[in-house]
Structure 1
Amino acid sequence: MEMRKPSNGFTMIQTLFVLMIICILAIQVRPYRPNIRLFMKQILDQSIVMQEKAMVEKRDVMVVWSSHSVSLDGHTISYPSGITCDAATYHYNAKGNISSALTITCHQGKKSNRLIFQLGSGRGRLE
């Protein structure tokens, strides 16, 4: 007597193919939203570079935050869409010290993160 294979259901290859199509569509549909924490980390890193630049070149280096961009010694970086930050201005002197202690808050929808700069070291931290 010959055994018959059941013909109901999908093969493993067919199932994997359908799952692959669903995953590709899901990736395509998701809208791009810049990560506020990653953006602020990049700006913090650039601020540390400005501090080092002030010490190496032995001059004041200005950092100006506006509502839609930050200017680092004349080089302007625009914020990604949906991100706004408090306005602030400070500079690093020739010794690398920051001119004032301050907190800069950036918002993206309901999320907000803060950059805190302390006197003395001039280094910032992200909260």
Structure 2
Amino acid sequence: MKQTAYLLDPETTIFRAVELPAGISFKPIYDLIGCRLIEVVRFDERHSLFADEEGLHDGLTAFTIFEGYPQPLAGKLVLVGGDGSEPYHSPLLSLEDASAHFKCCRPVLDPVFA
């Protein structure tokens, strides 16, 4: 049996449903995000958001503002159902409702002429 998760890619600004194998392994989430270290952010009392812990770095071309979170999140984000105290499951809210909490941004550089 497969689970659904929502994947947000700030580079393309595409937020879509993806399938994850059922179980307690976090490997599929690491693979989706493409990182070595994940950070778990509480989305609400029934959902968790996974982000790249080391995503904020020099040369960043896109990031995401998550409503109510104090700093930007870099890299791809994965939203799942569950608060982390049990194996994750499919989100309990629609993709459209979840997407209202995110804003994808691209840094703008102000050139300096000497």
Q: Which has the larger radius of gyration?
A: 1
Q: What range describes the TM-score normalised by the shorter chain of this pair?
A: under 0.3
Taking structure 2 as the reference length, the TM-score comes to: 0.27
Q: Which protein has the bigger helix share?
A: 1
Taking structure 1 as the reference length, the TM-score comes to: 0.25
